[in-house]
Structure 1
Amino acid sequence: MPLKRKIYTIVTRFAIYLFNKHLYSINTISGTVLMSSGDVLQQNIELYRGISDKFDWTRTGRISIVGTILGTLQHFFYCQLDKQYPGKEMRIIARKIILDQVLCTPVNIFIFIYGLGLLENNTWTEINKELKEKFTTIFLVDCGVFIPTQYINFKFVDPNYRLIFINAVSIIYDTFLSYMKYSHNKIQTTDQQEQT
Structure 2
Amino acid sequence: MSVGLGINIVKSIKSFVMPTFGKFINKAFSDKYLLFTNVGISITLSGLGDVLEQHYEMATDQIEKWDHKRTMNMSLSGTSVGVVCHYWYKYLDKIMPGYTIKMVLKKIVVDQFIGSPICISTFFVTIGWLEGSSKQELMQEMKHKAWKLYVAEWIIWPPAQFINFYLLPTKFRVLFDNTVSLGYDVYTSHVKHDIQIDKSSKRES
TM-score bucket (shorter structure): 0.7 to 0.9
Q: How far is 1:186 from its partner?
A: 7.0
Does residue 24 of the first structure (1) align with residue 35 of the second (2)? yes
Q: CA distance change for structure 1 residues 147 and 123 in 2, over 3 Å: closer, same or farther?
A: same
Percent of aligned pairs with the same amino acid: 29
Classify the secondary structure of the residue corresponding to 2:194: helix
- Trace 1:3-152 onto structure 2 (pairs within 5 A): 3=11, 4-6=13-15, 7-20=17-30, 21-152=32-163
Q: Deviations over 1:59-81 (max 9, x none)?
A: 11111221110001110111111
- Asked if 1:153 is matched to 2:164, the reply is yes
TM-score normalised per structure 2:
0.84
- Give the secondary-structure state (helix, strand or coil) at the position aligned to 2:51: helix
CA contact (8 A) 1:31 1:71 kept: yes
Q: CA deviation at 1:160?
A: 1.3
2:149/2:188 contact within 8 Å kept = yes
Q: Mark the runs of 5 or more structure 2 residues left unpaired by the alignment.
A: 1-9, 201-205
- Measure how far apart 1:184 and its partner are: 5.2
Shift of 1:187: 9.9
Matches within 5 A, 1:170-185: 170-183=181-194, 185=196
- Mapped contact 2:145–2:197 kept (Cα < 8 A): no
Q: What is the CA distance between 1:138 and its match in structure 2?
A: 0.9
Structure 1 residue runs of 5 or longer lacking an equivalent are 190-196
**Paired letter, 1:31:** S
**Displacement of 1:188:** 8.1
TM-score by length of 1: 0.88
Distance between the aligned counterparts of 1:15 and 1:122, measured in 2? Answer: 39
Contact 1:51 1:187 in 2 (8 A): no
Higher relative contact order (CA 8 A, sep 6+): 1
Q: Deviations over 1:155-186 (max 9, x none)?
A: 11122111111111111001100000113527
- Separation in structure 1 between the aligned mates of residue 90 and residue 21 of structure 2, nearest angstrom: 25
Seen in structure 2, the aligned counterparts of structure 1 residues 184 and 140 have a Cα distance that, compared at 3 Å, is farther
- Larger of the two Rg values belongs to structure: 2
The alpha-carbon deviation at position 17 of structure 1 amounts to 2.5
Partner of 1:194: none
Counterpart contact for 1:51–1:186, Cα < 8 Å:
no
> Which moves more between the two structures, 122-131 or 163-172?
122-131
**Larger deviation, residues 168-177 vs 135-144:** 135-144
1:89-140 deviations in Å (ceiling 9; x for gaps): 0111011111111111111111222221232222222221221112221101
Give the distance between the partners of 2:106 and 2:36, measured in 1 at CA: 27
How many correspondences in the alignment? Answer: 188
Amino acid paired to 2:99: K
Aligned-partner Cα distance in 2 for 1:126–1:93: 38
**3-state SS of 1:52 partner:** coil
